[in-house]
Amino acid sequence: MGTPLDDAALDTIFRSARTYNGYLDTPVREADVRAIYDLVKMGPTSANQQPARFVWCLDQSARDRLADCASDKNADKIRKAPAAVVIGMDEDFHEQLPWLFPHTDAKSWFDGDAEGRKVSAFRNGSLQGAYFIIAARALGWDTGPMSGFDAEKVNAAFFADRPKVKVNFISTLGKGDPATIFARSPRPDFEVFNRIA
């Protein structure tokens, strides 16, 4: 029940914000991604699972490595963006629950339930992916989330040392260049996908 956001803030995180195809030259620095994560980690996840694992590709070499795993059109966007992000998820997130959710034995809810962990990591890791998009916007950045990539290649390139971490989606990050976006896709009226009960 915080102070409601004003119109300019609602525009920044939802109404005027767009998914960008290209960016201005403004670099993204480590301090910027730390500030974004400091917001992301505050967003709620079930039993504070925090299953998302982020690789922030700030070096050109890392973006090139990610681009090599993406479809042609996406590869070009990734190579040219100031930064790119791999949003992964740890399907063994339950190992961390003893300190992330210390007041009860939440780890035991997931021990031996690999399928349940997979579902929970995907749902809560995706929530955290959305928190990343909104947090970046809230701090004046823009994103270009994408799912057009070879997941096996991304996992091999970025999570080879962590076999239980899998890529969920990837994104570019920077100060969006308005020249690189098209008209916004239509948005549904309330009645189309909502019901009051």
Q: Is 19 in a helix, a strand, or coil?
A: strand
Which among 148, 20, 147 is positioned nearest to 72, based on CA atoms? 148
Query: To the nearest whole angstrom, how small is the minimum distance from the Cβ of residue 164 to a copy of itself?
Result: 13
Smaller CB separation from a copy of itself, 112 or 182: 182
Q: Please tell me the distance from the alpha carbon of residue 12 to that of residue 98, in angstroms, as a whole number.
A: 37
Query: To the nearest whole angstrom, how small is the minimum distance from the Cβ of residue 175 to a copy of itself?
Result: 5
Query: To the nearest whole angstrom, how small is the minimum distance from the Cβ of residue 6 to a copy of itself?
Result: 8
Query: To the nearest whole angstrom, how small is the minimum distance from the Cβ of residue 112 to a copy of itself?
Result: 18
Smaller CB separation from a copy of itself, 111 or 140: 140
What is the C-alpha radius of gyration for the chain, rounded to an integer number of angstroms? 18
Smaller CB separation from a copy of itself, 41 or 76: 41
Query: To the nearest whole angstrom, how small is the minimum distance from the Cβ of residue 153 to a copy of itself?
Result: 15
Decide: residue 90, CB within 10 A, 0-12 exposed, 13-18 middle, 19+ buried: buried
Q: Please tell me the distance from the alpha carbon of residue 147 to that of residue 71, in angstroms, as a whole number.
A: 9
Smaller CB separation from a copy of itself, 76 or 96: 96
Smaller CB separation from a copy of itself, 114 or 130: 130
Q: Please tell me the distance from the alpha carbon of residue 105 to that of residue 95, in angstroms, as a whole number.
A: 11
Which among 187, 81, 70 is positioned nearest to 143, based on CA atoms? 81
Q: Sign of torsion, CA 155 156 160 163? A: positive
